[in-house]
Structure 1
């Protein structure tokens, strides 16, 4: 859905045509950090330290290289790569103390049919349920936080998760939390029923637009600054004359 709203043509390349893309160095760094932050909660609370997180890095990195061997050609300086990963973990531990709480779910799969023709699903990085029942949805980002005025767009993903959880479990999450490790910032929001109802309407609208595009075969391009990072720019009608 993010791809379609950013550029319907990009959605077509990825979701309809299923064109292959090379691994993204930033995305792969994110996967590495996410893996470590998931695994550290396997340890007893007292052992969830920065040093333990760093100790998990080599094994997580080896598993990632085995799964995506193309990374060997992308990561030319492994020491620099690992130093950057350690810096991001340092930033995480300055924002949260994982020894003080127990996460209820990690990589929680949420799913629901939002219409007869549209199935929606996603994976939540972490979902915490307090002893008193309050639900907190947490998402890690290894990049930098959005510029002022763009926070609402960043929170859309978590509102979708909140909507799915609310619809499936009948509990309105109390807190949405985005953790940005790139610049050591967090964004928090307390979702309301009105916000999540609005999110559901937006999802249905996007779903209808996707179905119309599939039926008509019309996936318009949408030029923006994001084009400079798009692998498909070389074949995109907006850039190929």
Structure 2
């Protein structure tokens, strides 16, 4: 849905044509940090330290390389690679103390049919349920936080997760939290029923637009600054 909103043609390349893309060094770094933080919460509370996170780094990176050997060619300097990963973990520990709370779920799969034709699903980085029942949905971002005025767009993903959890469990999440490790910033929001109902309406509208595009085979291009990072720019009709 995010791809289609940014550019329907990008959605077609990825979801319809299934064109391959080379791995992204930034995305793979993000996967590495996510896997370290996921495993960190499997440890006893007292062991969830910065040192433990650093010990997990080489192991998780080896596992990542075993799954995608081509990643080795992307990392030209091992020291620089691990130094950057260590800096992101340093920023994480400046924002949270994982030894002081229990995380209920990591990589929680949420799914639901929001209409007869639209199936929605996603994976939540972390979902914490307090002893008193309040729910917090957390997403890690290894990049920098959005500029003022762009927070709402960033929070939309978490509102989708909140909507799915609310509809499935009957519990309205208390807090949505985006943790930006690139610049040590946290963006928070307390969702309301009205916001989540509005989110569902937006999702249905986007879903209907996708269905129409599939039926008519019409996927217009949408030029923006994001084009500079798009792998498909060389074949995109907007640039040729």
Relative to the length of structure 2, the TM-score reads 1.00
For the residue of structure 1 that corresponds to 2:41, the secondary structure is helix
1:29 aligns with 2:29: yes
**Alignment correspondent of 1:224:** 224
The residue number in structure 1 matching 2:239 is 239
Hey, what's the Cα distance between the residues in 2 that align with 1:138 and 1:125?
6
Corresponding residue SS for 1:23: coil
Q: Does 1:65 align with 2:65?
A: yes
Q: Can you list the C-alpha shifts for 1:76-126, whole angstroms capped at 9, x where unaligned?
A: 101100000000000000000000000000000000001101100000000
How far the C-alpha of 1:139 sits from its partner, in A, is: 0.2
**Cα offset, 1:70, TM superposition:** 1.1
- Tell me whether 1:198 sits opposite 2:173 in the alignment: no
Q: Residue 186 of structure 1 aligns to a residue in which SS?
A: strand
Query: Considering only aligned residues, what root-mean-square deviation do their CA atoms show, in Å?
Result: 0.4
For residue 15 of structure 2, give the secondary structure of its aligned residue in structure 1: helix
Give the corresponding residue for 1:101: 101
TM-score (norm 1): 0.99
How far apart in 2 are the matches of 1:73 and 1:81? 12
How far the C-alpha of 1:218 sits from its partner, in A, is: 0.2
Cα deviation digits, residues 117-140 of structure 1 (max 9, x gap): 110000000000000000000000
What's the offset of the Cα at 1:198?
Answer: 0.2
**Offset of residue 173 of structure 1:** 0.1
Pairing of 1:4-153 with structure 2 (within 5 A): 4-153=4-153
Structure 2: give runs of 5+ residues left out of the alignment: none
Query: Which residue number in structure 1 is paired with residue 159 of structure 2?
Result: 159
For 1:73 and 1:154, locate their aligned partners in 2 and report how far apart those are by CA, in whole Å.
31
1:44-99 C-alpha deviation (Å, 9 max, x unpaired):
10010000000000000000011111111111101100000000000000000000
Structure 1 stretches lacking a partner, 5+ long: none
- 1:121 counterpart SS class: strand
How many pairs does the alignment contain?
A: 240
Q: Secondary structure at the residue paired with 1:42? A: coil
User: Deviation digits for residues 174-196 of structure 1, max 9, x if unmatched?
Assistant: 00000000000000000000000
Query: C-alpha distance in 2, partners of 1:103/1:74?
Result: 33
**Equivalent in the alignment of 2:212:** 212
Cα distance between partner residues in 2 of 1:42 and 1:183: 26
Distance in 1 separating the partners of 2:7 and 2:70: 27
